[in-house]
Chain A
Amino acid sequence: MREEEGLRIQKIENGTVIDHITAGYALDVLRILNIDGKDGHVVSIAMNVRSGKMGKKDIVKIENRELRQQEVDKIALLAPRATINIIRGYSVAQKTRVKLPEVIRDIIRCDNPVCISNAKEPVEPKFYVVGTSPLLLRCHYCGREMGREEVLKQFSG
């Protein structure tokens, strides 16, 4: 990271840095993680910063928070190239790249109100990833296709 960007985004002692987020999606990632800044911890956001690999990217730094696997999977839905850096004592303790699986189970539900997977049945929702940019998921049961907007709607609130 170059010096001027270093100034823009402060280092954190413990927490998570989510890097290589698709440009413009940083706020959506925070929404997925239900982070609104009200708990008092430092949250830094950089949007549309230059990146060699991606042209432009977003970065999010969250103090005192490590992500659960389910949260990482959710981020993969919207920012398939993101990397997750766990920071402990100002240095990177662990670095992983999110991975969008071919089949997504359980983290989102079908947008179709009359889909059988939304009824009281002993099954979990199941989606096939049909496209990644833009995101397109197809419900295993009813065949309804869902894009980024529909997915995002479920993560907020």
Chain B
Amino acid sequence: MPFSLAGRDIISIKDFKREEIDEILRLTDAFEPLADRGSDMLKGKIMATLFFEPSTRTKLSFESAMHRLGGEVIGFAGSMGTSVEKGENLADTVRVVENYADVLVVRHPLEGAARLAAEFASVPVINAGSGAEEHPTQALLDLYTIRRELGRIDGLKVALVGDLRYGRTVHSLAYALSLYDIKLYLVSPEILRMRKEVLAGIRGRVDVVETEDLAGILPELDVVYVTRIQKERFADPAEYEEVKGSYRLTSAMLSRLKPTGIVMHPLPRVDEVDYDVDRIPQARYFKQVRYGLLVRMFLLASVLGAI
């Protein structure tokens, strides 16, 4: 039987086995030509985006994916002017909107929100980010980027750099990477180290090294995955300024990265990746955006049973 996610919810990367993720990455390749010339694969289907907190980029990516497959899009972003502002809960919103759509894409500030939405919805729910905890489609597109650009994931040395404590994307990604045979470097200032519970979930499966020293390990790396360090996380502004500098990527610093290495970032960046890095051959963060579109096209087509 061919691999299918028909009718399935995409809530957490932890709901997927390695073999399933491999299939998702493999089957996403076929959507490259459809992204270029369009398709009517999802003609007559409607996707509703329920964005209880704004995330313009993620929303645009899902909307574009749906449009390129010939589907229709409805939805809202932010709680302003919606029934949510009048106090309607998520469960009720879901039970209303599911009457208008074939698939729901949910983003919510509270953790576990997508799982709750899926319990109340009779149509598939895709988690587009819930609290600080999960962002499964980002993790899948990150894996897809690595596989497309380097041809494999097994055997690589991958560094996650920056805010590993609060960063939404790195928790899902670290878990997803731990399903592969990799060496994982966790590079962060002391106060932004990976949370204990996330570490516990990946230790023992892969070789994990925690360090504050990015420059020291850089020549060994195949993948440098950078995330933003937010000022709000620091009680002392001086400490922030100091930390910020040591995790800021510049083209000079990256001259020590091997030619086959790649630099990734979930975007938006602020100043953790210098603009001059855009011109080095290893930069891949804008390609990541393209690959995100392909992965989301595959996921929509698959949960809606079109492939």
Is the CB of A112 closer than 8 A to any CB of chain B? Answer: yes
Q: Compute how far the CA of A144 lies from the CA of B119 in the bound complex, rounded to whole angstroms.
A: 19
Is the CB of A92 closer than 8 A to any CB of chain B? Answer: no
Is the CB of B20 closer than 8 A to any CB of chain A? Answer: no
B111 touches A122 (CB 8 A): no
A147 to chain B, nearest CB (A): 11
Q: Compute how far the CA of A114 lies from the CA of B53 in the bound complex, rounded to whole angstroms.
A: 14
Contact among B87, B91, B115 with A141 in the assembled complex (CB-CB below 8 Å):
B115
Decide yes or no: A143 and B110 within 8 Å by CB, A121-B89, A121-B91 being known contacts. no
Given the complex, which residues of B lie within 8 Å of A121, measured CB to CB? 89-91, 116
B111 touches A115 (CB 8 A): yes
Is the CB of B75 closer than 8 A to any CB of chain A? Answer: no
Q: Compute how far the CA of A122 lies from the CA of B91 in the bound complex, rounded to whole angstroms.
A: 7
A123 touches B111 (CB 8 A): no
Q: Which residue of A lies closest to B115 (CB)?
A: A141
SS class of chain B's interface: helix, strand, loop or mixed?
A: mixed
SS class of chain A's interface: helix, strand, loop or mixed?
A: loop
A106 to chain B, nearest CB (A): 16
Number of residue pairs A-B, CB distance < 8 angstroms: 56
Given the complex, which residues of B lie within 8 Å of A140, measured CB to CB? 112, 115
Is the CB of A68 closer than 8 A to any CB of chain B? Answer: no
Given the complex, which residues of A lie within 8 Å of B14, measured CB to CB? 143
Q: Compute how far the CA of A132 lies from the CA of B110 in the bound complex, rounded to whole angstroms.
A: 28
Is the CB of B142 closer than 8 A to any CB of chain A? Answer: no
A116 touches B113 (CB 8 A): yes
Q: Compute how far the CA of A23 lies from the CA of B55 in the bound complex, rounded to whole angstroms.
A: 51
Is the CB of B131 closer than 8 A to any CB of chain A? Answer: yes
A116 touches B12 (CB 8 A): no
B109 touches A114 (CB 8 A): yes
A-B contact pairs, 24 of them (CB 8 A): A114-B109, A114-B132, A116-B108, A116-B110, A116-B113, A116-B116, A117-B112, A117-B116, A119-B89, A119-B90, A120-B89, A121-B90, A121-B116, A122-B89, A140-B115, A141-B112, A141-B113, A141-B115, A141-B116, A142-B110, A142-B111, A142-B133, A144-B197, A145-B197
